[in-house]
Every structure is written in structure tokens, then in C-alpha cells.
Amino acid sequence: MNVCIVGTGYVGLVSAACFAEMGNDVVCVDVNPDVVSTLQAGKVHIYEPGLEDMVRRNYAEGRLIFTTSLAEGMERASFVFITVGTPSRPDGSCDLCYVEQVAREIGQNMHKPVIVVDKSTVPVGTADRVRAIIRQELDKRGVNHDFDVVSNPEFLKEGDAVSDFMKPDRVVVGTDNEKSAEYLKTLYAPFARSREKLIVMGVRSAEMTKYAANCMLATKISFINEIANICERVGADVRDVRIGIGSDHRIGYHFIYPGVGYGGSCFPKDVRALINTAHEFSFRPELLEAVDTVNNRQKKRMAERIAEYFAQQGGVSGKTLAVWGLAFKANTDDTREAAALAMIEMLTAQGMRIRAFDPVAGEKVREQLAHNPLVEIVDGQYEAVQGAQALLVVTEWNQFRTPDFERVKSLLTAPILFDGRNLYPPSMMAELGFAYFCVGRPD
Ligand code: UGA
């Protein structure tokens, strides 16, 4: 089949590579000529395990093409996927300017029947808006092509994006048009092999499903962080509590790891966007508001504990903190809404010096925080610790899981470790002689 994908971010590029991998002809369109030429040179501008190989191979075999021209992309396409960014506005609502711009251009370039697929995360009602914009452009041109606008939200996780796309839990298709549903079933048949994995529903329900899924997952995380905070105070261990509740199959073990709060480009933005949508319809979503509040508090929690610890020693000002991990989670270079950045901002505002290391995101953060003279990004995890007063672990990269603790101890001025991800057993840390602070477990 001929597929056009507009936007080469995580979702767009992964979808394009995976559709091409299954033998489809895919044209990937991006407005940024630098991104297009990087991709044409066989390089991928985002860090995603397995993606570069797949892009390079399919490009070399001619099934994947990159261009800045939507007209070229739409020449033969039966499907046009919209996978452009939907950033947050300052009030938390979703900014649809890129989606709307693409919709206009689709209307301007359509010359045959096509199925337009919204894959970007967009508020309920956006497919109708995209449909209206395309219709308006066709009317301006005085032409009438048969087209449909379908919602097909994406559920992939950064770091596991390729395998999530290749083996999805489900594929949601929102359309009232049976023909469109059949076409999408055919396109997705190699991915959603069992038929019940492809779920067809109304357009607005599909749009809502995406937000409901992310808000549910965010709620699980804020819930367990709340429980962890109570555990700390009452002397319970959240690790045991997680296993105790997770063994109930209605609850499950997944996505109830406490930590530094959720970050990334999706959960914080999507929770706020759904809150905003509810407000627009004069409904106050109190649970979602609490999920957001709890998360904002959790992101600062470890920094507060560091400040509290050093309060007895004249405060954090002038002290140096080693930080392991800057990305919002492991296996990505993404630092959007990363807890590490929130904590660094908080602690440097109080005069603390930071020596940070991240295996992938370091370079990016070096540029982002270049204005802050108290922050130094170094190239090795032990280099970060050298001469620091304490170590803070923020991201659960594998290389931080079993470090050489004797070396860490000898490099720190005192053995103090704040662990935002509960990576180490408290008993072992005590034996090693560390003052060890973690999440939801007795210190
Ligand atoms: C999330 C969803 O998991 C995907 O299903 C969805 O498609 C995607 O958003 C999106 O809307 O595009 P992602 O943002 O890549 O994926 O990251 P996750 O792996 O879900 O992690 C999100 C945050 O929650 C991270 O900061 C992570 O550290 C945190 N988390 C996750 C916890 O604190 N505890 C957990 O138990 C799980």
C-alpha cells in the first residue's frame, strides 16, 4: 500500500519505518530540510533503539522516501497520516496549529480519494475540525474528492517504540465509515495479527481513548507515589506494598513503581490537556487535577530531602551534588519534563553546584543549561561523583544499577546517596556504610 506520513518525530518516523518494514511504500514528509537531509544520509535525529537500522535498510531498499514536499508525498498515497507535534499552551490546552496547517496543505494537495489518519495526540473533536479544514480548502479549489478523517491514536513508548509498534497490545481505529475501517484493518493486519487486537469505534471515542489511557497510567504512578510518601512516614516499605497489591490481578504489578514522578512529552501534557478539555465543557476533573498536583510535588521531593539533609550543615549553597541521569526515563535522550531538570533548577536556585552525567542526554542538557554556571555536565558517571558531597540517582539507566560502590564511596567527600528510583537494597547500602535515602522505604 502507499502511505504518506507527515511529521518525522517519534511517532511519525517509527510508524513510517515499521509500515515500510512490512513492504508498504512510504513517503515521509517533514517541513525541516535539515531533518530530511539527515534522514536521507541514513542518520536518525532521535535516539530510539533499533530505529536507525530499520530506517537505513528500508531507505536503501527504496520503500522509504524522505521529502519536504507534501505534494510529492500525496502523489500516490491511499493514506495520509498526520503525526506532527501537539505542544501545550501555557494554560495546559493543546496547541493544534501544526495539525491544522497540515490539514490545510492536505486540502490544497489532494487530487484523488484518500484516507486522512490523525495519529497525533489530539483533543476530542479534532478529526471533525481537520475534516472541515480540508473541505474548506477543496471548496476553495472548486474540487470534490472523496476523503475520510480517521482517528488512530498511537500507544508506543519511547525506548521501546519499534517493538511496541510491531507488536501492539491493540490498534484503535476511530471511524464511522466501514470502508475506511476495512482499509486500515488491511494496513494493520501484519501488526495486529489477531482480529480482536484491532478495535474499531467512533472517532470521538478513539480520540478520548488515547487521553484516557495516558491519564490512567499517570494516575497509577501518582497513586503509588502518594502511597510511597505515606509508607515513608509510617515505616512501611513500598516495595512490599507494590507486590502485595500487584498480586491482585485487578491491580497488576505494572506501572506502579514509585519514583521521581512521571515526565516526558506525553503524560504531563496529556493529563493537563484532558483537564483543560473538561474545564471547557464546564466539568471539574478533580481526580486528574490531583494526579497532576501529586506529580509536580513528587518531582521536587528528592531535591527537598537533599535540602533538608544539608540544612543541618549550613544548607546546600556551595555544596556539590553528583547527578546520575538527566533523561526522563532510561533508554531515551528525551529530557522534556524530566524530574532531573526540575531538581537541578530547584537546588541551583539555592546555590548548590551540580556535576551531572547521562549516557545519552548529556550533550543536549549541556546546551540547555549552558546559562547556568552552577551546572557542569561531565562525560563519565564516576567523574560526576569526584569530590561531590552526595550522589543523586534520577534515571534508571542499566549502568547505574550495579556500580562500583567502593569507588563511588572513595570519590565522594562523604558516602551519601539519594536514590530517586529505588535501585539499591537499603540493607546493602547500610552495610556499605552509605547514608541512603530512597522512595517509600525506611531510610
Ligand atoms: C507513554 C505511554 O506509556 C505510551 O503508551 C504512550 O503512547 C506515550 O506515553 C505517548 O502518549 O506517546 P512514554 O512517555 O514514552 O510513554 O514513557 P513511559 O514509559 O510511559 O514513562 C512515562 C513516565 O512515567 C516516565 O517518567 C517514567 O519514569 C514514569 N514511570 C513509569 C514511573 O514513575 N513509574 C512506573 O511504574 C512507570
DSSP 177-231: -HHHHHHHHHHHTTTS-SGGGEEEE-HHHHHHHHHHHHHHHHHHHHHHHHHHHHH
User: Which residue's CA is the closest to the ligand 1 atom numbered 34?
Assistant: 257
Q: Is 297 annotated as a binding residue?
A: no
Give the whole-angstrom CA distance, residue 430 versus residue 384: 22
Q: Give the pairing of strands 171-174 and 25-29.
A: unpaired
Please give the distance of CA 98 from its chain centroid, rounded to a whole number.
19
Inter-residue contact 27 to 4 (CB < 8 Å): yes
Residue 62 has which C-alpha cell? 527504496
Residues 61, 427: Cα–Cα separation, whole Å:
54
Distance 284 CA to ligand 1 centre (A): 25
CA neighbor of 324 nearest in space, from 301, 308, 344, 295: 344
Closest atom of ligand 1 to 213 CA is: 5
Phi, psi of 220 (to 5 degrees): -60, -40
Instruction: Determine the atom of ligand 1 nearest the C-alpha atom of 157.
Output: 15
Amino acid at 142: G
φ and ψ of 31, to 5 deg: -70, -20
The atom of ligand 1 lying closest to the CA of 270 is: 11
Give burial (CB, 10 Å; 0-12/13-18/19+) of 427. exposed
Query: Does 210 carry a binding-site annotation?
Result: yes
CA of 395 from ligand 1 middle (Å) equals 13
Which whole-number Å values give the CA distances from 175 to 4, 204, 274, 391, in the listed order? 19, 9, 21, 51
Q: Which atom of ligand 1 is nearest to the CA of 159?
A: 15
Q: Pick the catalytic residue from 94, 215, 266, 438.
A: 266
CA of 329 relative to ligand 1 center, distance in Å: 8
- 441 and 237 in contact (C-beta within 8 Å)? yes
CATH number of 299-437: 3.40.50.720
Q: Supply the DSSP string of 311-352, one letter for each residue.
A: HTTT-STT-EEEEE--SSSTT----TT-HHHHHHHHHHHTT-
Residue 311 exposed, middle or buried by CB count within 10 Å (0-12, 13-18, 19+):
exposed
Ligand 1 atom 19: residue of nearest CA: 157
Ligand 1, atom 6: closest residue by C-alpha: 155
Profile the chain (443 residues) by mean pLDDT over runs of 10 residues.
96 97 98 96 91 96 97 96 94 93 97 96 95 97 96 95 96 96 96 88 97 98 98 96 97 97 96 95 98 97 96 94 98 95 97 98 95 97 98 98 98 98 96 97 81
> Which residues, judged by CB distance below 6 Å to any ligand atom, belong to the binding site of ligand 1?
121, 154-158, 214, 217, 221, 255-257, 259, 262-264, 266-267, 328-329
CATH fold match for the domains 212-289 and 299-437: no
Testing ligand 1's pocket by substitution, the residue of 13, 157, 396, 422 carrying the most ligand atoms inside 8 A of its CB is 157
Q: Where are the domains of the chain?
A: 2-201, 212-289, 299-437
- Closest Cα partner for 87 from 116, 40, 54, 120? 120
- CATH class, domain 2-201, is alpha beta
Dmax over CA atoms of the chain, in Å, equals: 78
pLDDT (0 to 100) of residue 438 = 97
Instruction: Tell me 259's DSSP state.
Output: S
For residues 228 and 225, give the distance between their C-alpha atoms in angstroms, rounded to a whole number: 5
Query: Beta-carbon neighbour count of residue 102 at 10 Å?
Result: 26
Residue 76: per-residue pLDDT: 95
157 is in an annotated binding site: yes
DSSP-assigned letter for residue 88? B
ipTM above 0.95, yes or no: yes
pTM of the model: 0.95
Contact 226, 294 (CB under 8 A): yes
Closest residue by Cα to residue 272 from 402, 93, 129, 90: 93
> What pLDDT is recorded for position 208?
98
Pocket test for ligand 1, best of 267, 297, 331, 421 (most atoms within 8 A of CB): 267
Ligand 1 atom nearest to CA at 160: 15
Q: CATH homologous superfamily for 212-289?
A: N-(1-d-carboxylethyl)-l-norvaline Dehydrogenase; domain 2 (1.10.1040.10)
Residue 92's pLDDT is what?
Answer: 85
The 10 Å CB-count burial string (b at 16+, else e) for 173-193 is bbbeeeebbebbeebbeebbe
Catalytic (active site) residue 266: yes
**Ligand 1 pocket check: which of 158, 208, 245, 266 to mutate, most ligand atoms within 8 Å of Cβ?**
266
Report residue 186: phi and psi, to 5°: -65, -45
Composition of the chain by helix, strand, coil, percent to 5: 45, 15, 40
